[in-house]
Amino acid sequence: MYSQFEIIVFGRVQGVGFRAAARNQARSLRLRGWVENLADGSVRAVVNGDAERCTRFINWCREGTGFSWVERIDIEEMKPESLGPFVIRY
Protein backbone atom coordinates (compact mmCIF):
# COMPACT_ATOMS: atom_id res chain seq x y z
CA MET A 1 0.00 0.00 0.00
CA TYR A 2 1.32 3.43 -0.94
CA SER A 3 1.55 6.26 1.55
CA GLN A 4 2.71 9.86 1.49
CA PHE A 5 4.04 11.98 4.33
CA GLU A 6 5.25 15.50 4.90
CA ILE A 7 8.08 15.49 7.44
CA ILE A 8 9.56 18.62 9.01
CA VAL A 9 12.82 18.08 10.84
CA PHE A 10 13.94 20.57 13.51
CA GLY A 11 17.38 20.92 15.08
CA ARG A 12 20.81 21.36 13.49
CA VAL A 13 19.84 20.05 10.07
CA GLN A 14 21.04 22.73 7.65
CA GLY A 15 24.63 23.01 6.49
CA VAL A 16 25.46 19.50 7.68
CA GLY A 17 24.60 17.39 4.62
CA PHE A 18 21.16 16.40 5.88
CA ARG A 19 19.36 16.94 2.56
CA ALA A 20 21.91 14.96 0.54
CA ALA A 21 21.83 12.13 3.08
CA ALA A 22 18.01 12.19 3.05
CA ARG A 23 18.02 11.99 -0.75
CA ASN A 24 20.41 9.02 -0.65
CA GLN A 25 18.34 7.29 2.03
CA ALA A 26 15.06 7.84 0.15
CA ARG A 27 16.54 6.63 -3.12
CA SER A 28 17.97 3.51 -1.46
CA LEU A 29 14.44 2.79 -0.19
CA ARG A 30 13.02 3.43 -3.69
CA LEU A 31 10.85 6.31 -2.46
CA ARG A 32 9.71 9.33 -4.44
CA GLY A 33 9.48 12.98 -3.39
CA TRP A 34 11.74 15.83 -2.39
CA VAL A 35 13.58 17.57 0.46
CA GLU A 36 14.27 21.29 1.01
CA ASN A 37 15.59 23.77 3.54
CA LEU A 38 13.07 26.11 5.17
CA ALA A 39 13.76 29.71 6.20
CA ASP A 40 13.40 28.90 9.92
CA GLY A 41 16.37 26.47 9.82
CA SER A 42 14.31 23.29 9.57
CA VAL A 43 14.18 20.82 6.69
CA ARG A 44 10.97 19.64 5.01
CA ALA A 45 10.62 16.41 3.07
CA VAL A 46 7.67 14.94 1.22
CA VAL A 47 8.04 11.22 0.70
CA ASN A 48 5.85 8.80 -1.20
CA GLY A 49 5.98 5.04 -1.58
CA ASP A 50 5.46 1.74 0.15
CA ALA A 51 4.15 2.36 3.69
CA GLU A 52 6.87 0.27 5.38
CA ARG A 53 9.63 2.04 3.42
CA CYS A 54 8.14 5.43 4.30
CA THR A 55 8.24 4.41 7.97
CA ARG A 56 11.89 3.42 7.61
CA PHE A 57 12.65 6.84 6.09
CA ILE A 58 10.79 8.60 8.91
CA ASN A 59 12.80 6.62 11.47
CA TRP A 60 15.99 7.63 9.66
CA CYS A 61 14.88 11.30 9.88
CA ARG A 62 14.59 10.94 13.66
CA GLU A 63 18.30 10.01 13.80
CA GLY A 64 19.74 12.14 10.98
CA THR A 65 23.41 12.09 10.03
CA GLY A 66 26.54 12.04 12.17
CA PHE A 67 26.84 15.81 11.75
CA SER A 68 23.19 16.72 12.38
CA TRP A 69 21.28 16.97 15.61
CA VAL A 70 17.54 16.28 15.39
CA GLU A 71 15.51 17.99 18.08
CA ARG A 72 12.12 16.79 16.87
CA ILE A 73 10.15 15.95 13.74
CA ASP A 74 6.58 16.76 12.77
CA ILE A 75 4.84 14.24 10.53
CA GLU A 76 1.64 14.66 8.56
CA GLU A 77 0.13 11.91 6.45
CA MET A 78 -1.06 13.19 3.09
CA LYS A 79 -3.20 11.86 0.27
CA PRO A 80 -0.77 10.06 -2.09
CA GLU A 81 -0.09 11.88 -5.34
CA SER A 82 2.21 11.27 -8.27
CA LEU A 83 5.74 12.42 -7.38
CA GLY A 84 8.96 12.16 -9.35
CA PRO A 85 12.25 10.62 -8.29
CA PHE A 86 13.48 11.90 -4.91
CA VAL A 87 15.37 15.18 -5.34
CA ILE A 88 16.76 18.10 -3.37
CA ARG A 89 14.81 21.31 -3.91
CA TYR A 90 16.89 24.49 -3.90
What gap in Å lies between CA 26 and CA 22, rounded to an integer? 6
Residue 15 has pLDDT above 80, yes or no: yes
Residue 1 has pLDDT above 90, yes or no: no
Catalytic-labelled residue, pool 23, 24, 37, 89: 37
For 2-81, give the CATH class.
Answer: alpha beta
What gap in Å lies between CA 20 and CA 24, rounded to an integer? 6
Boundaries of every domain in the chain: 2-81
How much is the average pLDDT of 20-33?
98
Tell me whether residue 48 is one of the annotated catalytic residues.
no
pLDDT in tens, 29-87: 999 999 999 999 999 999 999 999 999 999 999 999 999 999 999 999 999 999 999 99
17 contacts: CB under 8 Å, gap ≥ 6 = 65, 67, 68
Tell me whether residue 56 is one of the annotated catalytic residues.
no
pLDDT value, residue 87: 98
